[in-house]
Structure 1
Amino acid sequence: MVWWEWTYNPMVLIMRDTVTDLIAFLTVARERSFTKAAAQLGVSQPALSRTIRKLEARLGVRLLTRSTRSVAPTDAGERLIETIGPHFDGIETGLNEIRELSGKPAGSLRITSVEHASTVILAPGVCKLMLDYPDISVEISNDYQLVDIVAQRYDAGIRLGEQVAKDMIGVRVGPDFRMAVVGTPSYFKRRAKPLTPHDLTTHTGINLRLPTSGGLWSWPFAKDGREIRVRAEGHVVCNTLPLMLDFALAGVGLAHVPEDVVQADMEQGRLIRVLDDWCPPVTGYHIYYPSRRQPKPAFRLLLDILRSGV
């Protein structure tokens, strides 16, 4: 059989179209959005919708549930992701390993992190990686929610060591650090400084909403083997550290944030720290990934960079 006869074999064309449709499905399922997926694939949103409908018709099952606000895999869709996802990951890993032999590592990485870890650990490491290997691309998604990195097709996640699931491989990439409760001098002219966490019930807090439960984060404290969580009620709720810091510096209320975020403001007298003795070190950040998945060459390079900074 000559080359052109194999190329135009109908079965080959069918398989090619099926693979293309499956890639489209995986992208929509990962992004939870036809609009975002279409932008990534370089097609129009209506064309992508038609592709998914044709795939569903061919398979005879509904793969995605659609609403005006979101898209999510059905049970059949989840099963298909679990079945075919690892194979597509393996193909990408294999191609990237071949590229690595040329001395030019390439590929894309998707990492879920939290804002603080991204700023102090991940971003510096990614900058070094991309300067040394310009053919590697990295997508960072900041989210306080503990996401399923396998189902959402992330290569890895970064969270505190205590948050890493036992079925994941976790590697420390940051030292232990402390949290700090801070307020402005003008705030403490209006309110007495709290001496214990229980005193926070009479103070105004700048709070963080948790995406998983929808509730507000309760501030953790520990001293002499005793651990408690307290919520300082307030009128401001944020979802980013810089915004929380802006409100704290404006004298609106107290913020509970990583110590290094407010170190300069404390040293220059813009913020005053309280309850210092109730804020012991917390476990440093770890990068984690599935134990059953072979890490991509690009990820191994990033892992070496992040681990070297500990």
Structure 2
Amino acid sequence: MNRTLLSQLAVFAAVARAGSFRAAARELEIAPSAVSHAIGSLEESLGVRLLARTTRSVRPTEEGERLLATVAPAFAEIDAGLSAVADSGNRPAGPLRITMPLLAAEDLVVPKLGAFVARYPDIELDIRTNDRFEDIVENGFDAGLRLGEHLEADMIAVKVSGPWRGIVVGSPDYFADHPKPVHPGDLIHHRCIRRRFSSGRLYRWEFEKDGKPIEVDVRGPVILSDQRLMRTAALDGAGLAYVFDRRIERDLAEGRLVAVLEDWTPPFDGFHIYYPSRRQMRPALRAFIDFFRHSG
């Protein structure tokens, strides 16, 4: 294959993954003008437009999506091969790219990074936070952390946390003016602090009792994308929030927040590290899995 074309394809995959020319340039450590030139030359040689550009974003065209579906897995395998070489002598080393939601990074991973990097100083750990479920092969990640209930069947999964539980809470001031809901359907009469995922989707609150699931499309004047902000808004009386209980344990114990609908929010499966099945796992990934699986 023409080496120039191969490098242009690598630039195209980076732009599609990053969503912008400038971000791809930072990732590849080249000038933004070089990224633009490579994409322009690739499109000219193929005779098709691969990327749709706007003032705010860059996304693959239909033709670009088809090309990306072909080249992205190949580049992922090449990258894995290069990383395996970096793990010389079966020693955990080299780059390790992991995707996870922000709350998993905050609660499970970042608090233990000091011990991890002390034990494995030759691993370059690149953590990307995103609440969207990532195709780790297509997007060039070695592994990801996600709730077990959201994993694809073709992924190998290793549990790294105990059960998690969502809980609906409000401030005492809020409940001074509003009756406590006793059924999820009562939420339509309440101000609810809604959550928007990075995909743009608004979360429909999920409940279950006696094996019967219920989803409620709640309403309210506030939409946030982070559970810390939702907790703060609930403390200020903005409305009811649906957050993980470990985020508000002290608030509940000290009476700053009050839990409701507890019999409708059973615990669910915790977080897992997921990764694609490969014939040989890189030592760096094995070290990451073993460390966080056994770290509590």
* 1:229 alignment partner in structure 2: 215
* 1:69 alignment partner in structure 2: 56
- Note if 1:116 corresponds to 2:116: no
Worse overlay, 66-75 or 196-205: 66-75
- The secondary structure found in structure 2 opposite 1:89 is helix
* 1:3 alignment partner in structure 2: none
Tell me the distance in 1 between the aligned counterparts of 2:95 and 2:49. 29
Tell me the distance in 2 between the aligned counterparts of 1:182 and 1:78. 42
- The secondary structure found in structure 2 opposite 1:146 is coil
* 2:274 alignment partner in structure 1: 288
Worse overlay, 110-119 or 56-65: 56-65
- Note if 1:136 corresponds to 2:123: yes
* 1:175 alignment partner in structure 2: 162
Matches within 5 A, 1:18-167: 18-102=5-89, 105-167=92-154
- Note if 1:209 corresponds to 2:215: no
- Note if 1:242 corresponds to 2:233: no
Structure 1 ranges of 4+ moved more than 4 A: 292-295
Tell me the distance in 2 between the aligned counterparts of 1:73 and 1:296. 31
Worse overlay, 239-248 or 276-285: 276-285
Normalised by the length of structure 2, the TM-score is 0.89
Tell me the distance in 1 between the aligned counterparts of 2:98 and 2:11. 20
Residue identity matched to 1:132: R
Residue identity matched to 2:207: F
Unaligned residue ranges in structure 1 (runs of 5+): 1-10
Worse overlay, 183-192 or 105-114: 105-114
Distance change >3 Å, CA 295–CA 84, structure 1 → 2: farther
Paired residues in the alignment total 296
Distance change >3 Å, CA 19–CA 172, structure 1 → 2: same
1:58-87 CA-to-partner distances (Å, cap 9, x unmatched) read 344433332222222344434444444444
* CA deviation after TM superposition for structure 1 residue 19, in Å: 4.0
Normalised by the length of structure 1, the TM-score is 0.85
Tell me the distance in 2 between the aligned counterparts of 1:251 and 1:239. 18
Tell me the distance in 2 between the aligned counterparts of 1:244 and 1:116. 13
Distance change >3 Å, CA 146–CA 91, structure 1 → 2: closer
Residue identity matched to 1:100: D
**Structure number with bigger Rg:** 1
1:190-228 CA-to-partner distances (Å, cap 9, x unmatched) read 11222222222211111101343x442121111122221
- The secondary structure found in structure 1 opposite 2:267 is coil
Tell me the distance in 2 between the aligned counterparts of 1:59 and 1:135. 41
1:145-186 CA-to-partner distances (Å, cap 9, x unmatched) read 223323222222222111101122222111112111111111
* 1:268 alignment partner in structure 2: 254
1:265-310 CA-to-partner distances (Å, cap 9, x unmatched) read 1111111111111111111111212235854432221111122135
* CA deviation after TM superposition for structure 1 residue 52, in Å: 1.7
Tell me the distance in 2 between the aligned counterparts of 1:123 and 1:180. 24
Q: Percent identity?
A: 43
Residue identity matched to 1:46: S
